[in-house]
Amino acid sequence: MLKYIARRVFIGLLTMLFLITATFFLMRIIPGSPFINDDESVAAQKQYAQLEAKYGLDKPLTEQFGIYMKGLAHGDLGDSLIKKGKSVVDIISTTAPVTMRLGLTAFVFSMVVGIGLGITAALSKSRTLNNFVMLLSTIGVSVPNFLLALFLMLVFGVYLEIFPTIGLKTPLHYVLPTIAVSLHPVAMISRLTRTSMMEVMRQDYMVLAKSKGTAKWVVVLKHGLRNALLPVVTYAGPLIANLLTGSFVVETLFSIPGIGSEFVGSVTNRDYTLIMGLTIFMGFLVIVMNLLSDVVSAWVDPRIKLDK
């Protein structure tokens, strides 16, 4: 197991290196500059050149890459080019926790509701309930979250005035954004759980468990659920990485000062150091969460051999 994790960490580092290199050069291919200016006067051009020189952007690209990597090796992600006096680390450490709180809430919500709905639908003979779950999952997969967010804000925030729609101050503030980001995962998880639970219910070992005099619900929970959850665990790894890196649209709509909106902002502003910092941060999360989900899969299903 440890050997496997060590190998995965090594592969992860290689992936990170590739990600950093590719992002660095790709973002510089995009036309534009953090200091670009429509003013073509000589003075403006001179000022622009000075700024470029100050941040080392006038040097050859490969040399800039060398400098960046050297800084990175020392744990220095540099300063934001746009937000004066703020380091990239500062920006990540103030915005990431906000997004993570929302992301974790949404993750727990999606897992609980998705698995719950999936099991209920799989076990219930009621056509109505099954149709409801299938309808919900179709809607959840096809409705974009910004549309849902606007709809929720309008109905529950503006007309009914039950939930606040701006910021994340109190637990109540979490309700609408959580639902907005969770609908898609809830739909996916409930569908996955329903399908695999129905498959598991047909398995021979469920009959054997019943033949031992075990009560029906114990058979379902002890023998069925663990087998049925495997596809969900595989899905949960990328999902949590996705949720923790935030949604730009939802964060913007609910005025949440999270990392998702920083990411989009950094790209439109060509804030090179911030783009790099955020890419590294998110890439790291994705790699770690995928590794975690593989380890959990192996724990859920002992037939999965990680070492091979």
Partner 1 sequence: MSVLSVEHLSTQFTTDQGIVRAVRDVSFSVEKGEILGIVGESGSGKSVTMFSIMGLLAGNGTVTDGRIILDGEDLSPSAFSSEKEYEKKMCAVRGNQMAMIFQDPMTFLNPVLRIESQLVEPILNHTKLSRKEAVDRAIELMGKVGIPSPEKRIKQYPHQFSGGMRQRIIIAMALACNPKLIIADEPTTALDVTIQAQVLELISAIKDEFGSSVILITHDLGVVAQTCDRVAIMYGGKIVEQGSAEDIFYSPNHPYTKGLLGCVTNPESEFSEPLHPIPGSPPDLLKPPAGCPFLDRCPNAMRVCRDYMPETTVFSDSHFSRCWLNQKGGAAG
* Contacting positions for partner 1 (CB under 8 A): 125, 203-205, 207-216, 222-223, 226-227, 300-303
- Residue with Cβ nearer partner 1 (84 or 125): 125
Q: How far is the CB of 300 from partner 1 (least distance, A)?
A: 7
Distance between CA atoms of 308 and 143, rounded to whole angstroms?
41
CB 189 within 8 A of CB 234: no
What SS3 state is found at 79? strand
- Residue with Cβ nearer partner 1 (169 or 212): 212
- Residue with Cβ nearer partner 1 (188 or 206): 206
Residues 6+ apart with CB under 8 A from 278: 88, 92, 259, 262, 263, 266
Q: How far is the CB of 120 from partner 1 (least distance, A)?
A: 16
Q: How far is the CB of 308 from partner 1 (least distance, A)?
A: 13
CB 115 within 8 A of CB 193: yes
- Residue with Cβ nearer partner 1 (33 or 214): 214
Q: How far is the CB of 213 from partner 1 (least distance, A)?
A: 4
Amino acid letter for position 93: S
Distance between CA atoms of 43 and 124, rounded to whole angstroms?
74
- Residue with Cβ nearer partner 1 (101 or 210): 210
- Residue with Cβ nearer partner 1 (23 or 203): 203
Q: How far is the CB of 11 from partner 1 (least distance, A)?
A: 27
Distance between CA atoms of 283 and 42, rounded to whole angstroms?
41
Distance between CA atoms of 215 and 235, rounded to whole angstroms?
30
| Residue 105, token pair as written in the block | 């809430």
Question: Cα–Cα–Cα angle for 106, 107, 108, nearest 5°?
Answer: 95
Q: How far is the CB of 206 from partner 1 (least distance, A)?
A: 8
Distance between CA atoms of 28 and 56, rounded to whole angstroms?
13
Q: How far is the CB of 4 from partner 1 (least distance, A)?
A: 18
Distance between CA atoms of 118 and 116, rounded to whole angstroms?
5
- Residue with Cβ nearer partner 1 (84 or 127): 127
Cα Dmax for the chain:
89
Q: Which of 293, 255, 77 is nearest to 177 (CA)?
A: 255
Q: How far is the CB of 303 from partner 1 (least distance, A)?
A: 5
Q: Which of 82, 83, 56 is nearest to 68 (CA)?
A: 56
- Residue with Cβ nearer partner 1 (38 or 204): 204
